[in-house]
Structure 1
């Protein structure tokens, strides 16, 4: 039996509550979003949009050539539709290029309020030079808005420590407490007390005084206790300038997200196209897909495991694939037939253990399930038609 039709069931009643926690919906987002607001209001933690950029080009799966005012009106209407879905801590991330970026920001300011604008991210979407144009355009933008900036700023995650940060921590003396780095023990003496001016005597008898204009960070009694407890480092030979040990296990290492995202860190369009080609070697490719690592960075900052992610322009299914591998819940909406031919088929591969994209960094080996639907009616008791679930649920 064909998996696309084998699981087809009678229309689900009261189906505005029937979408699974991980779902793909085949339909127009302008129809789907108002229906979702009946059960998903204030439930979505992160919305990612990769809308048509309105750059006048013709792509494999859609044409991107609306009149400027028509495009802006359509984007404003869409933004207003999904605003009620956002949690108070939620955020919206919109991919766009130079052609409409500044106009889109004005529209988004109007919808979300200028006070809830978070930042503009510059993404290096290509690393090669384009010699056929006046300038080689190597970047796109991601506009970031919060429903409530203060709430989002408290919820958002910092990024994990870099290899460079971790490399600073070593253990040259085999301290049982683990890796550490040494930090200065002297500070400026402008606000010092008398108790911070004294001579430190190292365990080998060498004496140390603070440099001119500086004093010790601790008073003498505290310093002697720190030395006794093995928290002060005098160098490998014992006669170096005293420094304090800062242990890795006591360090809250994290990185504040920056606004410049390089291709080597979050991937490029070229890498994404290669991944899509590996998944769908016999199908028409998307021209400008986003890499899973780019969406992964967004979800890493904006969400935690179990949070709900929404993508109303699902495209080739990158957002749902990434969210699934990162143990997020999701709803992806796509109007084209590739909702089934690409998005659903891609999710089946993900569940079966597809190993591209972020699979390696997430130690992804497959698992879980998702369901897919199509818009059926605007009737209050029959919004979506259930098309199937993967893996196929047992009938017993």
Structure 2
């Protein structure tokens, strides 16, 4: 796996802090301390066209005040600043790379229009709805229980070919059984009839069960295959007529023959990917003596993003690193990461958290500081 081979800029704007390096061999990840735009301007020549997935959790501009920052900006300034930042990020993506941006409903529609201008509407992939809280917020007109992730690709067609499916969960696996002890293993039955809108004459016929019962497709539907193909499937024991051999025929779909996994859906439930509250409790459990972020993202959420968008060894980037969640998840999944954070929590939270979970087998993590950034170590 090639190293990032980051060279120091000619004017020395980026300086490594050797004492904060984790490990010395293997794939490189880099934690930058500095203004995200300033750092990106310096390192873009190194990373252009190399990043498989970018995840960012920028300030939402939701007129709230938080422990580590005040999220109150003029709308025009906020959208212009974030748009310029994303314009810096776009060239870093591989052709099949994607960017995922967390946002809430106050600015999601404005940001969507701005991102269409950066990536082109044809490269918009989806809007993910994340159930970020499970409790009811009674003080407001509506209890706001969800946030969004806007997903764009450098090239939507290339991303579609490279994106991963999700592993089968327990609910899906429950559907697969083997009542006839088929040596091919677990299977589920699916309907053998389909809508007849584009059917050919060869898809309308009777299927005779092993017990002699005749079955025709329901009104407005036809059989999925021609009679000749169904005879072949019956001979291969791929058509199921029920335990008694006379039920409506259904196609056997074997778990061992299914390619990949589940197509990702756009509604991500809290029970699947965690909540803001669960993420906050996790951070408190790690750093009980520190002031934690008010709205951290759960590791499960970032894990799902990286599961869909990356493969082991890929490079991911987070230029609003916050409490360091994406860096920790990346290393855990065998990814290289670039993280950028300008606040003092780059040490108290990001570096400390990565160091806490660091293992030499993941490679090395370098720490670099931009010259215009005050020391925090």
Q: Which band: TM-score by shorter chain?
A: 0.7 to 0.9
Q: 2:344 aligns with which of 327, 337, 348?
A: 337
Q: 1:206 aligns with which of 205, 208, 212?
A: 212
Is 1:230 aligned with 2:220?
Answer: no
Cα distance in 1 for residues equivalent to 2:144 and 2:213: 60
Which residue matches 1:371?
Answer: 365
State the superposition RMSD in angstroms.
3.1
Render the CA deviation track for 1:47-77: whole Å, top value 9, x for unaligned. 1111112223332222222222222222122
Render the CA deviation track for 1:298-328: whole Å, top value 9, x for unaligned. 1112111111110001000011111111111
Unmatched runs of 5 consecutive residues or more in structure 1: 10-17, 353-365, 379-384, 388-396
Asked if the contact 1:186/1:210 (under 8 Å) is kept, the reply is no
Which deviates further from its counterpart, 285-294 or 19-28? 19-28
Cα distance in 1 for residues equivalent to 2:80 and 2:228: 70
SS of equivalent to 1:7: helix
Which residue matches 1:108?
Answer: 115
* TM superposition shift of 1:275: 0.5
Which residue matches 2:37?
Answer: 30
Is 1:160 aligned with 2:172?
Answer: no
Render the CA deviation track for 1:198-242: whole Å, top value 9, x for unaligned. 66362xx53434357677666666555544443333332334344
Cα distance in 2 for residues equivalent to 1:182 and 1:376: 59
| Gap change, CA 1:374 and 1:183, over 3 Å in 2 | closer
- Equivalent positions of 1:135-174 (< 5 A) are 135-174=142-181
* TM superposition shift of 1:271: 0.4
Asked if the contact 1:344/1:372 (under 8 Å) is kept, the reply is no
Cα distance in 1 for residues equivalent to 2:248 and 2:36: 65
| Gap change, CA 1:240 and 1:37, over 3 Å in 2 | same
SS of equivalent to 2:127: strand
Which residue matches 1:44?
Answer: 51
| Gap change, CA 1:77 and 1:253, over 3 Å in 2 | closer
Cα distance in 2 for residues equivalent to 1:110 and 1:349: 40
Render the CA deviation track for 1:90-146: whole Å, top value 9, x for unaligned. 111111123332322232222222332222222111111111222222122212111
Which residue matches 1:390?
Answer: none
Cα distance in 2 for residues equivalent to 1:54 and 1:187: 48
Task: Give the structure with higher Rg (CA).
Answer: 1
Which residue matches 2:11?
Answer: none
| Gap change, CA 1:318 and 1:216, over 3 Å in 2 | closer
| Gap change, CA 1:24 and 1:6, over 3 Å in 2 | closer
Which deviates further from its counterpart, 272-281 or 209-218? 209-218
Render the CA deviation track for 1:157-192: whole Å, top value 9, x for unaligned. 222334333222211121211112234455678523
SS of equivalent to 2:64: coil
Asked if the contact 1:192/1:215 (under 8 Å) is kept, the reply is no
Which deviates further from its counterpart, 149-158 or 181-190? 181-190
Cα distance in 1 for residues equivalent to 2:227 and 2:65: 74
SS of equivalent to 1:272: helix
Asked if the contact 2:53/2:306 (under 8 Å) is kept, the reply is yes
| Gap change, CA 1:109 and 1:185, over 3 Å in 2 | closer
Is 1:93 aligned with 2:87?
Answer: no
| Gap change, CA 1:178 and 1:331, over 3 Å in 2 | same
| Gap change, CA 1:77 and 1:234, over 3 Å in 2 | closer
Is 1:287 aligned with 2:287?
Answer: no
What is the TM-score normalised by the length of structure 1? 0.79
- Equivalent positions of 1:164-203 (< 5 A) are 164-185=171-192, 191-193=200-202, 197=205, 200=208, 202=210
Cα distance in 1 for residues equivalent to 2:195 and 2:17: 74
Which deviates further from its counterpart, 281-290 or 253-262? 253-262
Which residue matches 1:81?
Answer: 88
* TM superposition shift of 1:29: 0.8
